[in-house]
């Protein structure tokens, strides 16, 4: 998917919501466990109920890997279902991979070609030759971890490197990589004040923002500092939406939560149209 297609979808749906499919057998409604593939059954119901309210889905790969071969089968069914039924949706493999040259190419092929995801999250620690293999794929997007929303982000990411901080160095240096036009960045919403600084380094890039809601970030603050004229934000919510109810009505309850966020996002987009 091209970035322009993503932007068009955002304007059409008046939403920049990404729904995280962190699907966990311990948390989905109990009555689904008797299904042949409870994970896919759950995902399908969530997707069918929310696809018109969001522009992206982000399966967290760890949750699928934890169930071994069956988990991978559920993941494959989920991405195939999305690509067949809702091809306008932007899909994110939240894999946080990062390895050298030929291994990165393997991962890129697995997620971009075999599973046909539009994008993947990548850790920056190993640098240029761990990232560029992903950037070589046309109309595929690489979402680099910059500033995450967890406590451990302060261990290294915010440490000073000369006059700057490590996460800013990651932003700056990555813009020099070959194919950097295919880069997006993960920036945690728990640190809305940082968005202003980040926009000085990557004024136009899309930012994938976890941590609105459950992790305490504030949608309006993030938009005030992080939004660009082409929106430039994908706001992720996972547990707050998909586990809104553990009963028969789980999909409706998820739809309700997604709808609340979409309405709040429409308000921010209305504000954007007044500014630009």
Catalytic residue numbers?
Answer: 96
Mark 68-107 with x for binding to its own copies (rule: CB under 8 A) and - for no binding: xx--xx--x-------------------xxxxxx-xx-xx
* Kind plus residue range of the DSSP H or E element containing 172: helix 166-174
The whole-angstrom distance between residue 19's C-alpha and the CA centroid of its chain comes to: 8
- Other beta carbons within 10 angstroms of residue 17's beta carbon come to 24
Nearer to its own copies, 169 or 268 (CB): 169
* Contact in structure between 168 and 197 (CB atoms under 8 Å): yes
Among 50, 91, 148, 190, binds its own copies (CB under 8 A): 148
Q: How far apart, in whole angstroms, are the C-alpha atoms of residue 199 and residue 121?
A: 20
Contact status: 127 vs its own copies (CB under 8 A): yes
Nearer to its own copies, 127 or 246 (CB): 127
In this chain, which stretch among 79-87, 169-177, 191-199, 253-261 interacts with its own copies, using CB under 8 A?
169-177
Nearer to its own copies, 4 or 162 (CB): 162
Q: How far apart, in whole angstroms, are the C-alpha atoms of residue 273 and residue 265?
A: 12
Q: Which residues neighbour 87 within 8 Å (Cβ) at sequence distance 6 or greater?
A: none
Q: Could you say which residues in the range 182-241 bind its own copies, by CB under 8 A?
A: none
Nearer to its own copies, 15 or 238 (CB): 238
* Angle at the Cα of 188 from the Cα atoms of 220 and 276, rounded to 5 degrees: 40
CB of 13 to its own copies, least distance (A): 28
- Other beta carbons within 10 angstroms of residue 169's beta carbon come to 18
Contact status: 60 vs its own copies (CB under 8 A): yes
Closest CA to 64 of 87, 37, 84, 99: 37
Nearer to its own copies, 4 or 163 (CB): 163
Contact status: 159 vs its own copies (CB under 8 A): yes
Q: How far apart, in whole angstroms, are the C-alpha atoms of residue 200 and residue 212?
A: 22
Q: Which residues bind its own copies (CB under 8 A)?
A: 22, 60, 62-63, 65-69, 72-73, 76, 96-101, 103-104, 106-107, 109-110, 114-115, 123-131, 145, 148-157, 159-162, 166, 169-170, 173
């Amino acid at each position: 998917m091209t970035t322009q297609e993503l932007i068009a979808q955002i304007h059409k749906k008046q939403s920049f919501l990404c729904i995280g499919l962190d699907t966990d057998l311990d948390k989905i409604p109990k009555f689904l466990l008797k299904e042949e593939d409870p994970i896919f059954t759950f995902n399908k119901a969530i997707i069918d109920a929310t696809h018109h309210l969001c522009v992206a889905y982000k399966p967290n790969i760890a949750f699928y890997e934890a169930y071994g071969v069956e988990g991978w089968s559920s993941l494959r069914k989920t991405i195939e279902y999305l690509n067949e039924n809702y091809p306008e949706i932007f899909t994110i493999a939240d894999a946080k991979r990062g390895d050298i040259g030929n291994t990165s190419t393997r991962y890129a092929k697995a997620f971009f070609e075999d599973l046909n995801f539009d994008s993947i999250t990548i850790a920056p620690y190993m640098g240029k030759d761990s990232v560029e293999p992903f950037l070589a794929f046309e109309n595929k997007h690489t979402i680099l971890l910059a500033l995450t929303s967890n406590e451990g982000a302060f261990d290294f990411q915010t440490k000073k490197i000369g006059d700057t901080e490590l996460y800013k160095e990651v932003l700056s240096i990555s813009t020099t990589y070959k194919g950097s036009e295919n880069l997006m960045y993960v920036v945690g919403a728990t640190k809305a004040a940082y968005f202003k600084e980040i926009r000085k380094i990557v004024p136009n890039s899309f930012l994938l923002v976890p941590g609105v809601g459950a992790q305490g970030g504030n949608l309006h603050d993030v938009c005030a500092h992080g939004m660009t004229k082409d929106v430039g934000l994908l706001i992720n919510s996972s547990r707050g939406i998909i586990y809104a109810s553990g009963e028969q009505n789980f999909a409706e309850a998820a739809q309700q939560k997604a709808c609340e966020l979409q309405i709040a996002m429409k308000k921010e987009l209305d504000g954007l149209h007044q500014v630009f």
